[in-house]
Amino acid sequence: MAAPQVFTSREMIEKLISFDTTSHLSNLDLIDFVESYLASHGVKSRRVMNEDRTKANLFATLGDETQAGGIVLSGHTDVVPVEGQDWSSDPFSVVERDGKLYGRGTSDMKSFIALVLSRVPEFLKAGPKIPVHLAFSYDEEVGCLGVRPMIDSIIRDLPRPQVVIVGEPSSMKVVNAHKGIHSYNTKVTGLEFHSSQTHLGVSAIQYAAELITFLMQLADEMRERGDASGRFSPPCTTISIGTIQGGTALNIIPKSCSFLWEYRPLPDADPSEIITRFNAHVEEDVLPRMRAVFPGASIETTVRAQSPGLAALDGDPGETLVMKLAQCNSAEAVSYNTEAGLFQLADIPTVVCGPGDIAQAHKPDEFIELSQIAECETFMKRLAEYVSGQSI
């Protein structure tokens, strides 16, 4: 048998960053490497593939997977694109400058996965009395798509874990609440005509602008409602317009216009309220006016992504454990979305805690501070002691 592969934290970060796993690409090269690495330590992995078998989740257990009360360490392997961004160095080669490691995914969130993997020998050394489950997903960045079948597999095939730790960048603070995300593409189809004959055409851009105005009015209403918990920044459900495209020429009434938009509801808000009210406005107010001129006019809204928020479960034993491991006295709330809400939806207690700052995610020259890596190493050391039966 080949000798077990051994990597320092830095070496493992460099290795994982070297795989270009932008969401529109395959992650299988990275999965192959992780699977081989774990196998060298006698750890079996299972894959949960996507339909066309170009991507995979990877699930593995350190210890006895049939034992209840395990700890799940969860992270996504995909990263956002670098195209159009002005990087100072190769995004897929780690560069150290001024106490920081630069590279795509250093903060969001390959460093967490790397720190978990580099500690596998330590987790295995004493024979874990509590199993540690590794759950690495694909396509988180495009709607938390990949983790869903893996969660289904976990709840179907394994005893219930005591807690899931999603290692998104939280500066190693414990997060027990975050907003959800719902994103849509709305396409407005009107009737082309000469721009001098506005009474005969149906301007798709004009009506798209009306719909966007309606969404901004809803955003104002959400802002006035605020956040009863007082924990979130901004302190409300938010609505945002991302892109808009439409029209052909100045002197042509535009036939088509589409826009991408999203809302991020507070975890205790009705997640369907905004889309329900938007659709009602379309059907009851906007479409009748368009079709009075052109019966073939249409407005189609399709779902791009939906992922639930994470609600605080104060006093949960799993959360208490993670706070002890992180040496935090309180948990925080954040406005970004993670896979944590999906684990919680499956009735598994879940928190977010990982190295790096979310402010660096998705930016050119993304980085993680070396101090964050050291803090996460200490966290993993305490976790290794806990699962081996030592007091922490």
pLDDT at 239 over 60: yes
Tell me what pLDDT residue 126 has: 73
Is 140 catalytic? The answer is: yes
Q: What is the distance between the alpha carbons of residues 107 and 109, in angstroms, rounded to a whole number? A: 5
Tell me what pLDDT residue 3 has: 86
How far, in whole angstroms, is CA 141 from its chain's centroid?
A: 5
Tell me what pLDDT residue 314 has: 78
> Residue 227: which region, alpha, beta or left (left: phi > 0; alpha: psi -120 to 50)?
beta
Catalytic residue among 14, 35, 139, 140: 140
Tell me what pLDDT residue 1 has: 57
For residue 334, give the H/E element and its range. Answer: strand 332-334
pLDDT at 2 over 80: no
Opening angle at CA 47, ends 81 and 13, nearest 5:
45
pLDDT at 150 over 70: yes
What are φ and ψ of residue 304, in 5° steps? -95, -45
With beta carbons less than 8 A apart as the criterion, state whether 180 and 170 touch: no
Is 14 catalytic? The answer is: no
With beta carbons less than 8 A apart as the criterion, state whether 55 and 146 touch: yes
Q: What is the distance between the alpha carbons of residues 47 and 53, in angstroms, rounded to a whole number? A: 10
How far, in whole angstroms, is CA 258 from its chain's centroid?
A: 25
The DSSP code sequence of 112-173 is: HHHHHHHTHHHHHHT--SS-EEEEEES--TTTS-THHHHHHHHHHHSPPPSEEEE---STT-
pLDDT at 321 over 90: yes
Pairing of the two strands 71-76 and 132-137: parallel
CA nearest neighbour of 360 among 383, 336, 341: 336
pTM: 0.93
Catalytic residue among 35, 78, 108, 365: 78
> How do residues 283-318 score in pLDDT, each as one tens digit?
999 999 999 999 999 999 999 999 999 999 878 999
